[in-house]
Structure 1
């Protein structure tokens, strides 16, 4: 049974994801689709719109066969660490292919760009440092350095987020000496950060979330952009919890954390550097909501994404010592869900998995999972008080979702 791996967030699952999934199967002729999916908090430093269990259901109902969770330690991270964790999970499960979406769509450009970066590492790193000293963000410095050193027609556009992730996926495969074969398909219609609907059927997850937050769960506005199962599961979640998760739900808790912490204490939190802890505290005193707070702390040097990741780590009290203890590969496989075909694959292959398989949290005592437990407890503060304990208990008691 050949398997193709996807690295996803499904926040929420939409038509672009359905296209990616089908294109991956068509390109590889794989019988099994394995998704490595971020859990409660995502790479851009945001709480997931709905729980990982509801997003797992979306994935399984729309064609994924197995869903593994990408641990917090890798999920809320820069591209390199995010890729290391996700690729190591696919490698551990005996996956044959990794298929990712990119702005390029040409796998040869990825290999050529990586070869160039390895060959000219010293010159490239020097250029990046020069641009960083001008006050631009690190991702912007990468893009500017690459543009200045190369003929852009022969290499990837490193200003595009999915091209950057793709580079890191392939580098992670090389580091692991994995037999995973990388394949890329061109992203269809919508850009990753689009906050408006750009076509008749394909929209970014960002624009879909924006529509849901600004129209009080009027699903009619998004129905043409998501599969029917997604629309139904979103409606079901909203009906039960009376809300979707977004940063404003957590603002009061973040503000409290900031105002009861000293600058010295904040410096222990992952990604808090260069004195920004003082700026964070000052802005927290004066801000009435999360959006206002973010606008006060935003500078040319720090991307919105990086600042949100800092806020997530403050909220979860994720310390530098915890987050940097292991950035190369995952240490367990947290199974969130499977179909009948997925179950058959697991039964045939799990004895050969190179990492322990965790199907129920209450039976797994490893220290590494403590960050996921903290993240789950904090995530529950995004729902009404009387439902929080139920949500946390589910983290420990919920067996993998099985779709027959």
Structure 2
């Protein structure tokens, strides 16, 4: 059976994601589509809009055959490590292709970009570090170094100012660096951009726009932008954002000492003192973020930092999380179950369907993240131990 992999968040699953799954299956002639999906905290340092089991069910009802969880350490990481974890899991599951959406829409510029950067990586990294020292944020430093490289080379390169292109480049990079046999293919992103607000005249909207519309209005305002089954599922959900988690985060920041805050992943350069100062004077998450935002720290980097403080994820744990240790199964269709039965012995990582049967620090952090996500909903801990994989 020919399996194609996708790396997703589904925050929430919408019509654009449905298009992505259909095109991925068609372009690669796939019998199986396997989704590696983030759990309860996401790459931009946010709690997921809806819980991971509801998002798993959304995916399985709309074209995915298997959904596995991207461990917390990678799901909340910058693009290069987010990609590293996703590619490693798809390779372990024996996918023949990885299909990703991009603003670029063609794979050749990504391959040319990889060849150009790797061809003179020492100079590229030197230019990145020089830009960081000049005061640019790391993403802007990367773009500065990349612009210098592309102006000196002829050819068609990927536009790495676009969010999906950035992730796409790192998927391609990781396929090569991990020496995977997977083929990378890309599907043009259509109708709306990653950060776009709701746009008139189309039923394909960005997840960002959908979340904004729900929190500024109501769930009914976004019904046209997602499959009917998914809208029904969301009506049953408790929807989450940082406003819900902020009271607990604020308590943590005021309770911990500066040195305890500084032990968490991505907390650097003495910012722990600013975090505590802002927590004392900010009654809302927006106020808090406004007081800590600067040219040095992007909104996303700050949110990832706060996510790690909220979940207790430390620098030591981050160092240890070099590659995924397991495949955590969240759900499957009958077709997906047949693929697992036929290929399980070929998987290069252990398949975990029962959390209680697998002891691993990385998995423990995933379970901890779930418990703390549900804390804000006043739900009991231990959901990862009670929930079997979803079967559709």
TM-score (norm 1): 0.94
Contact 1:124 1:146 in 2 (8 A): yes
Q: Does 1:276 align with 2:250?
A: no
Contact 2:355 2:385 in 1 (8 A): yes
Instruction: Give ranges in structure 1 of 5+ residues lacking alignment.
Output: 238-242
Where 1:7 maps in the other structure, the secondary structure is strand
Report the Cα distance in structure 2 between the residues aligned to 1:60 and 1:24, rounded to whole angstroms. 15
Report the Cα distance in structure 2 between the residues aligned to 1:325 and 1:138, rounded to whole angstroms. 23
Report the Cα distance in structure 2 between the residues aligned to 1:59 and 1:113, rounded to whole angstroms. 31
Contact 2:371 2:382 in 1 (8 A): no
Alignment counterpart, residue 188 of structure 1, candidates 178, 187, 190: 190
Deviations 1:54-98 (A, max 9, x none): 000000001100000001011000111111111111000111110
Q: 5 Å matches for 1:205-220?
A: 205-215=207-217, 217-219=218-220
Where 2:184 maps in the other structure, the secondary structure is strand
Task: Compare 115-124 and 82-91 and name the one that shifted more.
Answer: 115-124
Contact 1:189 1:199 in 2 (8 A): no
Task: Compare 122-131 and 84-93 and name the one that shifted more.
Answer: 122-131
Return the offset for 1:26.
1.1
Contact 1:197 1:204 in 2 (8 A): no
Q: Does 1:369 align with 2:363?
A: yes
Where 1:222 maps in the other structure, the secondary structure is helix
Report the Cα distance in structure 2 between the residues aligned to 1:19 and 1:25, rounded to whole angstroms. 10
Which residue of 1 is the match for residue 119 of structure 2?
119
Alignment counterpart, residue 156 of structure 2, candidates 154, 160, 179: 154
Contact 1:189 1:198 in 2 (8 A): no
Deviations 1:3-33 (A, max 9, x none): 1101000011001101111111110110110
Contact 1:43 1:77 in 2 (8 A): yes
Q: 5 Å matches for 1:5-404?
A: 5-151=5-151, 154-197=156-199, 199-215=201-217, 217-219=218-220, 221-237=221-237, 243-327=238-322, 329-383=323-377, 385=378, 388-389=379-380, 392-403=381-392
Return the offset for 1:148.
2.7
Report the Cα distance in structure 1 between the residues aligned to 2:43 and 2:306, rounded to whole angstroms. 12
Contact 1:117 1:124 in 2 (8 A): yes
Contact 1:100 1:166 in 2 (8 A): yes
Distance 1:267 1:194, change over 3 A: same
Report the Cα distance in structure 1 between the residues aligned to 2:201 and 2:272, rounded to whole angstroms. 41
Distance 1:153 1:225, change over 3 A: farther
Report the Cα distance in structure 2 between the residues aligned to 1:315 and 1:282, rounded to whole angstroms. 17
Deviations 1:90-133 (A, max 9, x none): 00011111000111111111111011111122222222222222
Q: How many residues align?
A: 390
Distance 1:348 1:378, change over 3 A: same
Task: Compare 106-115 and 168-177 and name the one that shifted more.
Answer: 168-177
Deviations 1:342-385 (A, max 9, x none): 010000001111111110112222232111111011001231x2
Contact 1:200 1:224 in 2 (8 A): no
TM-score (norm 2): 0.97
Instruction: Give ranges in structure 2 of 5+ residues lacking alignment.
Output: none
Contact 2:71 2:362 in 1 (8 A): no
Pairwise CA RMSD: 1.3
Report the Cα distance in structure 1 between the residues aligned to 2:39 and 2:219, rounded to whole angstroms. 25
Which residue of 2 is the match for residue 240 of structure 1?
none
Where 1:159 maps in the other structure, the secondary structure is coil
TM superposition outliers: structure 1 runs of 4+ over 6 Å: none
Deviations 1:159-188 (A, max 9, x none): 111111111111211122111111011111
Contact 1:143 1:157 in 2 (8 A): no
Report the Cα distance in structure 1 between the residues aligned to 2:197 and 2:298, rounded to whole angstroms. 17
Task: Compare 62-71 and 185-194 and name the one that shifted more.
Answer: 185-194
Return the offset for 1:198.
5.4
Contact 1:42 1:48 in 2 (8 A): yes
